[in-house]
């Protein structure tokens, strides 16, 4: 692509020499030899001035307090009689003419300067601009969106709930009564020491909020931040979970397994398999932990999977009928399954990371890799 011509403004100002410009005055000044010489010298300097600074110098030299013209004008009282009126009349005209000429020439030189700059400092508007560093989505956001996409493809909607929760939604309505040992397994941040207000320790309270508002069939995933008082290579006090909930008639554990297997193959590769291990959660019964066959060794056993061939990825189970009781669902007609996974954990497994804290160090050398 050839550059567009730059747009310039041309200021045309032909220069008239002092001689031409002040023809009449020059003729009259012949009446006084000294005055004619003084004017001639000043005129020559003005004609020769090539930049505004030279004009300034000419002004000092020819119109300053000690210039020949000023000295001559001041000496009028001492001049012979016949010279006095001539010098008085034409001397002041000469002074006025030089002042005018200096101002005109200065203006002209300055516009010449503008012209020169317009010619040399052209802007090529077709040149590419300064490169601006392009941002990107954080790997956690990318992973969250990828997981959301997979479930959206299975017909799930997305729902969100508050990060500052009440004890009721975070524990009680999830079938975790006061004093239940599961409460102490979550290291909870309380807000302002109020035992009823806390930072949610998981996304499961959003299950309750969705079921309170809507009737089955329900197929939702619920992403968001959660908080636990935990900090080491595999735990940060804030992390992300994605919760899933399906409630309908005739839902079985086979549906749960099929859904999770579909998900795992979509995110980790088509040759992955899963296994369910019995576990306990207060709000699901039965409960399971779900492992995926190790994507690094293919299940043979390696350091990443601690030589077991399996990596734990999420918790799940069939919704406990007691939970349906809290949201006034007909527990004998409805079944459901729920699952919850850590987004950081999924991202770490997918990208072979070993230290979860790197997600939040904000080191661009790391962040930019994704
Ligand atoms: N909320 C559980 C946790 O944070 C995970 C879970 C969700 C388990 C849904 C079962 C069903 O550990």
pLDDT at 13 over 60: no
pLDDT in tens, 180-236: 877 765 689 999 878 899 999 999 999 999 999 999 999 999 999 999 988 888 889
Q: pLDDT band for position 314 (50/70/90)?
A: very high
pLDDT in tens, 74-117: 989 898 888 888 888 888 988 999 899 889 888 888 888 788 88
Asked whether 315 lines ligand 1 (CB < 6 A), one says yes
Distance CA 251, CA 249 (A): 6
Asked whether 339 lines ligand 1 (CB < 6 A), one says yes
Distance CA 367, CA 99 (A): 69
| Nearest CA owner, ligand 1 atom 9 | 339
Q: Map residue 215 onto helix, strand or coil.
A: coil
Asked whether 317 lines ligand 1 (CB < 6 A), one says yes
Asked whether 204 lines ligand 1 (CB < 6 A), one says yes
Per the model's pLDDT, the better-predicted residue between 170 and 80 turns out to be 170
What ranges do the domains of the chain cover? 18-120, 139-367
Asked whether 282 lines ligand 1 (CB < 6 A), one says no
Pocket test for ligand 1, best of 180, 222, 281, 344 (most atoms within 8 A of CB): 281
Distance CA 285, CA 280 (A): 8
Residue 30 half-sphere exposure toward CB, CA atoms < 13 A? 7
Percent above pLDDT 90 for the chain:
54
283 close to 175: Cβ distance less than 8 angstroms = yes
Asked whether 281 lines ligand 1 (CB < 6 A), one says yes
| Nearest CA owner, ligand 1 atom 6 | 340
Q: Is the pTM of this model over 0.75?
A: no
CATH assignment, 139-367: 3.30.930.10
Residue 308, pLDDT score: 95
Residue 327, pLDDT score: 97
Per the model's pLDDT, the better-predicted residue between 7 and 225 turns out to be 225
Asked whether 39 lines ligand 1 (CB < 6 A), one says no
Q: Which residues contact 162 (CB under 8 A, 6 or more apart)?
A: 200
Asked whether 284 lines ligand 1 (CB < 6 A), one says yes
pLDDT at 122 over 90: no
138-144: average pLDDT: 97
Asked whether 186 lines ligand 1 (CB < 6 A), one says no
pLDDT at 302 over 80: yes
| Nearest CA owner, ligand 1 atom 2 | 340
Asked whether 244 lines ligand 1 (CB < 6 A), one says no
Q: Which residues contact 282 (CB under 8 A, 6 or more apart)?
A: 174, 175, 176, 180, 182, 320
- Ligand 1 center–CA 317 separation, angstroms: 8
- Ligand 1 center–CA 307 separation, angstroms: 26
Distance CA 25, CA 123 (A): 46
Asked whether 256 lines ligand 1 (CB < 6 A), one says no
Asked whether 227 lines ligand 1 (CB < 6 A), one says no
Identify which of 333, 342, 295 has the alpha carbon closest to the alpha carbon of residue 315.
Answer: 342
Supply φ then ψ for residue 339, to 5 degrees: -150, 155
pLDDT at 242 over 70: yes
Pocket test for ligand 1, best of 169, 183, 204 (most atoms within 8 A of CB): 204
Asked whether 272 lines ligand 1 (CB < 6 A), one says no
| Nearest CA owner, ligand 1 atom 10 | 316
pLDDT in tens, 40-68: 999 999 988 888 888 989 999 999 899 99
């Amino acid at each position: 692509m050839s550059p567009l011509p730059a747009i310039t403004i041309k200021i045309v100002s032909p220069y008239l020499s002092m001689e031409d410009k002040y023809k009449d005055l020059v003729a009259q000044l012949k009446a006084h030899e000294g005055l004619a010489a003084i004017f001639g010298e000043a005129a020559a300097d003005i004609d020769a001035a090539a930049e505004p600074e030279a004009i300034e110098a000419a002004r000092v030299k020819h119109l300053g307090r000690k210039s020949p013209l000023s000295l001559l004008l001041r000496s009028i009282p001492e001049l012979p009689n016949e010279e006095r009126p001539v010098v008085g009349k034409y001397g002041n005209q000469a002074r006025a003419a030089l002042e005018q000429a200096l101002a005109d020439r200065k203006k002209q030189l300055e516009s010449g300067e503008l012209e020169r700059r317009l010619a040399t400092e052209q802007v090529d508007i077709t040149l590419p601009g300064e490169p601006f560093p392009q941002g990107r989505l954080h790997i956690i956001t990318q992973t969250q969106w990828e997981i959301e996409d997979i479930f959206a493809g299975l017909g799930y909607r997305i729902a969100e709930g508050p990060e500052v929760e009440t004890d009721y939604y975070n524990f009680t309505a999830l079938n975790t009564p006061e004093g239940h040992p599961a409460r102490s397994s979550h290291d909870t941040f309380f807000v302002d020491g109020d035992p009823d207000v806390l930072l949610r320790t998981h996304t499961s309270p959003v299950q309750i909020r969705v079921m309170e508002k809507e009737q089955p069939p329900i197929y939702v995933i619920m992403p968001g931040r959660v908080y636990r008082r935990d900090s080491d290579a595999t735990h940060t006090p804030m992390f992300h979970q994605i919760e899933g909930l399906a409630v309908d008639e005739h839902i079985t554990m086979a549906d749960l397994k099929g859904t999770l297997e579909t998900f795992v193959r979509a995110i980790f590769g088509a040759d992955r398999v899963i296994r369910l291990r019995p576990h306990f959660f207060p709000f699901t019964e039965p409960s399971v932990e779900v492992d995926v066959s190790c994507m690094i060794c293919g299940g043979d056993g390696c350091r990443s999977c601690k030589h077991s061939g399996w990596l734990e990825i999420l918790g799940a189970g069939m919704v406990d009928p007691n939970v349906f009781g809290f949201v006034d669902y007909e527990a004998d007609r409805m079944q459901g399954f729920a699952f919850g996974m850590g987004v950081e954990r999924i991202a770490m497994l997918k990208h072979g990371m070993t230290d979860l804290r790197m997600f939040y160090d904000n080191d661009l050398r790391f962040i930019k890799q994704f």
